[in-house]
Amino acid sequence: MAETATLTIDGKSWELPIIRGTAGEPAIDVTKLRDLTGHLTYDPGYGNTVSCTSAITYIDGDAGILRYRGIPIEQFSQRPNFVETAWLLIFGRLPKPHELAAFSAKLTANAHLHEGLKHHFEGFPIDAPPMAILSAMINAKGCFEDDFTHLEAEEAFEETAASLISKVRTIAAYAYRRSRGLPFIYPDPRLRYCANFLHMMFSMPYDQHLLDPDIEDALNLIFILHADHEQNCSTSTVRMVGSAKANLFASLAAGVCALWGPLHGGANAAVIEMLEGIHQGGLTPEQCIAKAKDKTDPFRLMGFGHRVYKNYDPRAKMLKQVADKVFSKLRRSDPLLDIARGLEELALKDPYFIDRKLYPNVDFYSGLIFRAIGIPTNMFTVMFAIGRLPGWIAQWKEQHDQVGGRIARPRQIYTGPELATYVPIERR
């Protein structure tokens, strides 16, 4: 018999269907609630609201589990390949060798930016935030496509996805070069995804950047760990914009803007600012913890806490190991890493953080690794965006392919004046 939940209002009862996901997680289906009862549900921040069904990513926040298309995230660390992970997320299964080779070839063929698009960088002030440039350039890129609004055919979609995943890295590197007044370095078709990105970031026309396979692997894993995270703020934004049948480029550009916020992807840069503040003697780690606990102070311990994880974020666990590897490989030490470890230790034994189940999240250690690789702080959230792009594309496609989808349009409870009168300006 179908499961239901009984809702009783003013003595009248209704049976509402319960739907369950693969792991049995239940949700009360309220799609007919307003028609049946005249009532709405109130859930600011959507902490209890399921906005869609999705077969892409599974998270169990209490157990600290993350899986892409059913595969535990830990399994991606063996031979990290971001391009393979992107294909898996977008097309729903691991690619066969010839499919991966064909997709990689598409990425290589699409790495260049149209010269016309390249000139757009000159229009930005030298200190323009790279996330603003990234969002604007993704939207602008759509204008350089022959037919960017129709992506019904699987092949056309694959070509466009490859082009976006490839070019986002070129755009990111060019935004950085522009901010430093450095010449643009063209992509090198002989290099793999992450190596090519590092080449465009750090080579000079007269001096090829030396690539280290261990750093390349670390970057691959970092991008993989950021690749999708179900219905977070930026992904929900991509789906929200996409639900209006807006094109892929416009939807992704909106996702970049949402990711920019310091409570979301912008937290990786905010963590470094917080650690630098401590290092420069602004605050001791103990004062920082006390400030984060003080309810009269808006300060939060950046890189801590998560809407879904009420356990150690599995991505943070893996990134902590990547940080150790990268620092020992580069034979580098960073006082900020020691401060981060100390802060984590303090927080994890503090009743405030224990009671609220606040653990390090993906942003706590990622910035330290970016810093060690030589990525400047204002590019950290761009790095997150490069990693998240396949997830956004997969989510947009899943929604686009679903039959009978509706435009996303939440309701509200109006609390303004009931009826007011317009007063002409000369009488106000």
Coil, strand or helix at 64: coil
Output 202 or 364, the one with its CB closest to ligand CMC: 364
For the CB of residue 162, give the shortest distance to ligand CMC in the complex, in Å. Answer: 25
Q: Which residues are CB-neighbours of 360 under 8 A, at least 6 positions away? A: 303, 304, 312, 313, 316, 320, 344
Cβ at position 88, least distance to ligand CMC in Å: 21
Which CB sits closer to ligand CMC, 302 or 339? 302
Site string for ligand CMC, 240-279 (x = CB under 6 A): -----------------------xxx-x------------
DSSP secondary structure of 183-238 = PP----TTS-HHHHHHHHHH-BTTBPPPP-HHHHHHHHHHHHHHS--SS-HHHHHH
Question: Residue 99: which of 55, 45, 145, 154 has the closest Cα?
Answer: 154
Cα–Cα distance, 264 to 272 (Å, whole number) = 15
In the region spanning residues 345 to 404, those forming contacts with ligand CMC, defined by CB under 6 A, are: 356, 358, 361-363
Q: Which stretch binds ligand CMC (CB under 6 A): 138-146, 172-180, 300-308, 337-345?
A: 300-308
- 202-233 burial by CB neighbour count: b if 16+ within 10 A, else e? bbeeeeeeebeeebbbbbbbbbbbbbbbbbbb
Catalytic residue, from 217, 313, 350, 363: name it. Answer: 363
Contacts of 293 by beta carbon, 8 Å cutoff, 6+ apart: 350, 352
For residues 166 and 106, what is the distance between their CA atoms, to the nearest angstrom? 9
Q: How far is the CB of 309 from ligand CMC (least distance, A)?
A: 8
Residue with smaller CB distance to ligand CMC, 197 or 260: 260
Given a contact cutoff of 8 angstroms between Cβ atoms, the answer to whether 223 and 168 are in contact is: no
CB of 267: closest distance to ligand CMC in angstroms? 3
Q: Which is nearer to ligand CMC, 93 or 356 (CB)?
A: 356
Instruction: Tell me the residue nearest to ligand CMC as measured from the CB.
Output: 305
Of the candidates 252, 232, 79, 224, the residue with the CA atom closest to the CA atom of residue 163: 252
What residues between 57 and 86 interact with ligand CMC by CB under 6 A? none
CB of 290 within 8 A of CB of 297?
no
Instruction: Output the smallest distance, CB 245 to ligand CMC, in A.
Output: 27
**Start-to-end Cα distance in the chain:** 64
- Please say which residue, 95 or 387, places its beta carbon nearer to ligand CMC: 387
Q: Which helix (H) or strand (E) holds 166?
A: helix 154-180
* Amino acid identity at 36: L
Q: What is the nearest approach in angstroms of ligand CMC to the Cβ of residue 223?
A: 15
What tokens appear for 171 in the block?
């755009």
One residue of 80, 130, 242, 305 binding ligand CMC per CB under 6 A: 305
Q: How far is the CB of 63 from ligand CMC (least distance, A)?
A: 17
Strand order across the beta sheet in which 57-60 lies: 57-60, 65-68, 71-72
User: Does the annotation mark 207 as catalytic?
Assistant: no
Q: Which is nearer to ligand CMC, 305 or 391 (CB)?
A: 305
From the list 200-208, 236-244, 299-307, 418-426, the region that binds ligand CMC by CB under 6 A is 299-307
Beta bridge pairs of residue 58: 67
Which amino acid is it at 222?
A: I
Scanning 298-306, 319-327, 330-338, 367-375 for contacts with ligand CMC by CB under 6 A, the matching segment is 298-306
- Site for ligand CMC, residues 27 to 56, rule: CB under 6 A: 45
Active site residue 229: no
- Show the site string, 94-123: x = touches ligand CMC by CB under 6 A, - = not: ------------------------------
Annotated catalytic residue, options 217, 306, 313, 350 = 306
Q: Which of 167, 178, 199, 306 binds ligand CMC (CB under 6 A)?
A: 306
- The alpha carbon dihedral of 63, 322, 386, 371 has a sign of positive
303 sits near ligand CMC (criterion: CB under 6 A): yes
For ligand CMC, the binding residues in 207-236 under the rule CB under 6 A are: 232
**d(C-alpha 252, C-alpha 142), whole Å:** 11
Q: How many residues bind ligand CMC (CB under 6 A)?
A: 20
Task: Single out the residue of 69, 114, 209, 307 in contact with ligand CMC (rule: CB under 6 A).
Answer: 307
Catalytic site positions: 306, 363
* Residues at the interface with ligand CMC (CB under 6 A): 45, 232, 263-265, 267, 292, 300-307, 356, 358, 361-363
